Chains A and B, each alone.
Chain A
Amino acid sequence: MSKTIEGLHYSEDHEWVKVEGGTALIGITDFAQSSLGDITYADLPEAGDEVEAGEEFGALESVKASSELLSPVSGKVTEVNADLENAPEKINEDPYGTWIIKVELSDPSQVESLMDAAAYEEFTNK
């Protein structure tokens, strides 16, 4: 049974969003890291890149497969988690404590359309 955390927003592509002021921290859910398996590489954008909701912004590689990262929100990437270059396995170890990118939200209302923890749990149990 994968974990969720109250207060985060969840996308159908298994990313989570944590809003801090006008910035969104984006990571992948426990369900996603568990399905992927051991993550060996994170292909990430650079600070300053624009991301669009629903569009690919990078990819995670596990031993067996690669998985695209789809942004749940639109905006400008303000920061990329530099730890992931050498230690992408942190995502497996602590999926909710390991943000991947920070995005300056261009449309904060997009967050409203994401799921809360209970709805996401129901979504993954389908």
Chain B
Amino acid sequence: MEENLKVTCLHDKHVALGAKMSPFAGFDMPIQYTSITEEHNAVRNKVGMFDVSHMGEVFISGTDSTKFVNHIFTNDVNSIQQGQILYGMMLYPDGGTVDDLLVYKEFQPDHYLLVVNAANIDKDYQWILDNAKGYDVEIVNDSQNWGQLAIQGPDAEAVVEKVTGLAVSELTFYTFNDFVVDGKRIIISRTGYTGEDGFEIYANPDLIRKYWDEFIDAGVTPCGLGCRDTLRFEAGLPLYGDELSKDISPVVAGYSMFCKLDKEEFIGKDAIAKQKTEGAPMKLVGIELKDRAVPRAGYPVLLADGTEVGHVTTGYHSITLDKSLCYALVKRECGALGNVLYVQIRKKVFEGTVVKKRFYQSNYKK
């Protein structure tokens, strides 16, 4: 194991299950327990469980919290009620992405929970602090005190109710509820990163460990980060670092619907408005190849005459769809749906077509 790698509260359980472990976002994380394909199919067809305790939890409260969250966040927290969740981004003034995140509007007035990517916890926390000057808010990075499980798949509702004994069936997509278990607060939301129905459970490490064992006993398949990536990829969901980054704005990536330009202001608003009006030079597209060869991150994307117009950001031979698919960042004028583009894979060039990024039709409970 590399030095200085962090571990989640479930690390020993992954090792005991014989998981293949690998560094991810500074944590020693399970990539797979048995096989990515088996774990992927468990989520699509039944139910799987992910340890996502590495994710960050930042709590924001105070008189100015609504105004402040709306200042740093692209989506509009005034558009939701308590108990609802929004997806969106934090941006730099030039429109580049600091992170993509979920904002939970808590039941206590003026309280918000921001769930951020593990790799970005320190950067995000500092960014939030740096931009809080003049706002009456309290900001707490409480990531270390929260574990998180994602229970995903068509059987998720039944098994979460069975194991926790809590009424989660009334939750609709992107809503959450607070519960008290053993005297401590837990949060369950109907959210996920797989394109399937499912739940995310935030709780103290002791309870997370207990639930982990109970979900395993209930027949839920433990799933590693390997299939978390293949699942989110099929569902058209971006991964920070690949499809969103300091250099890739939500407009470029095609997620500008999460940037509410009718809001009074947010950091990066002017840049996003300009990119939307004038068009960004690059565009993130989906490409479906005719062949089984697999496009991988960094491979060049070409025109028929060999001109390079971009590169692949993520690619797989899709497990559910049995097609070779990728996301690629290409020159905007080349990115229209139906356009023919080519991907160079090692020494050969393969023909593909620009298609919608949501390769797989998600099954959320609305």
What residues of chain A have their CB less than 8 Å away from a CB belonging to chain B? 37-38, 40-41, 43, 59, 61, 63-66
> Is B36 within 8 A of A38, CB to CB?
yes
Given the known inter-chain contacts A41-B317, A43-B346, please indicate yes or no for A61 contacting B35, CB distance below 8 A. no
* B83 sits at the interface (CB 8 A): no
> Is B293 within 8 A of A63, CB to CB?
no
For the complex, what is the distance from the CA of A65 to the CA of B296, rounded to whole Å?
Answer: 8
* B316 sits at the interface (CB 8 A): yes
8 Å CB contact of A61 from B31, B36, B229, B317: B317
Q: Given known contacts A43-B293, A63-B226, A63-B319, what 10 new A-B pairs fall within 8 Å (CB)?
A: A37-B32, A37-B35, A38-B36, A38-B37, A40-B317, A41-B294, A43-B348, A64-B31, A66-B294, A66-B296
For the complex, what is the distance from the CA of A59 to the CA of B230, rounded to whole Å?
Answer: 21
Chain A residues closer than 8 Å to B36, beta-carbon distance? 37-38, 63-64
> Is A40 within 8 A of B292, CB to CB?
yes
The majority secondary structure among interface residues of chain B is: mixed
Instruction: For chain B, residues 258 to 317, give those with C-beta under 8 angstroms from any C-beta of chain A.
Output: 292-294, 296, 316-317
For the complex, what is the distance from the CA of A121 to the CA of B330, rounded to whole Å?
Answer: 46
Chain A residues closer than 8 Å to B5, beta-carbon distance? none
For the complex, what is the distance from the CA of A41 to the CA of B292, rounded to whole Å?
Answer: 6
A-B contact pairs, 6 of them (CB 8 A): A37-B226, A40-B294, A43-B293, A61-B294, A61-B317, A64-B31
> Is B37 within 8 A of A61, CB to CB?
no
Given the known inter-chain contacts A38-B36, A38-B37, A43-B345, please indicate yes or no for A61 contacting B293, CB distance below 8 A. yes
Chain A residues closer than 8 Å to B40, beta-carbon distance? 63
For the complex, what is the distance from the CA of A61 to the CA of B346, rounded to whole Å?
Answer: 12
Name the CB-closest residue of B to A34: B20
> Is A41 within 8 A of B35, CB to CB?
no
> Is A63 within 8 A of B316, CB to CB?
yes
8 Å CB contact of B230 from A43, A63, A66: A63
Name the CB-closest residue of A to B346: A59
> Is A41 within 8 A of B37, CB to CB?
no
A95 to chain B, nearest CB (A): 15
B105 to chain A, nearest CB (A): 36
A33 to chain B, nearest CB (A): 12
Given the known inter-chain contacts A37-B32, A37-B36, A38-B36, please indicate yes or no for A64 contacting B226, CB distance below 8 A. yes
> Is A41 within 8 A of B293, CB to CB?
yes
A31 to chain B, nearest CB (A): 13
Chain A residues closer than 8 Å to B35, beta-carbon distance? 37-38
Contact with A along B30-55 (1 / 0, CB 8 A): 01100111001000000000000000
For the complex, what is the distance from the CA of A98 to the CA of B226, rounded to whole Å?
Answer: 26
Given the known inter-chain contacts A38-B35, A38-B36, A43-B293, please indicate yes or no for A63 contacting B345, CB distance below 8 A. no
Chain B residues closer than 8 Å to A61, beta-carbon distance? 293-294, 317
B221 to chain A, nearest CB (A): 15
For the complex, what is the distance from the CA of A64 to the CA of B296, rounded to whole Å?
Answer: 9
Chain A residues closer than 8 Å to B37, beta-carbon distance? 38, 63
A29 to chain B, nearest CB (A): 17
For the complex, what is the distance from the CA of A64 to the CA of B345, rounded to whole Å?
Answer: 15
B316 to chain A, nearest CB (A): 7
Name the CB-closest residue of B to A64: B226
Chain B residues closer than 8 Å to A43, beta-carbon distance? 293, 345-346, 348
Contact with A along B6-34 (1 / 0, CB 8 A): 00000000000000000000000001100
Chain A residues closer than 8 Å to B32, beta-carbon distance? 37
Instruction: For chain B, residues 208 to 254, give those with C-beta under 8 angstroms from any C-beta of chain A.
Output: 226, 229-230
Contact with A along B332-354 (1 / 0, CB 8 A): 00000000000001101000000
Chain A residues closer than 8 Å to B319, beta-carbon distance? 63
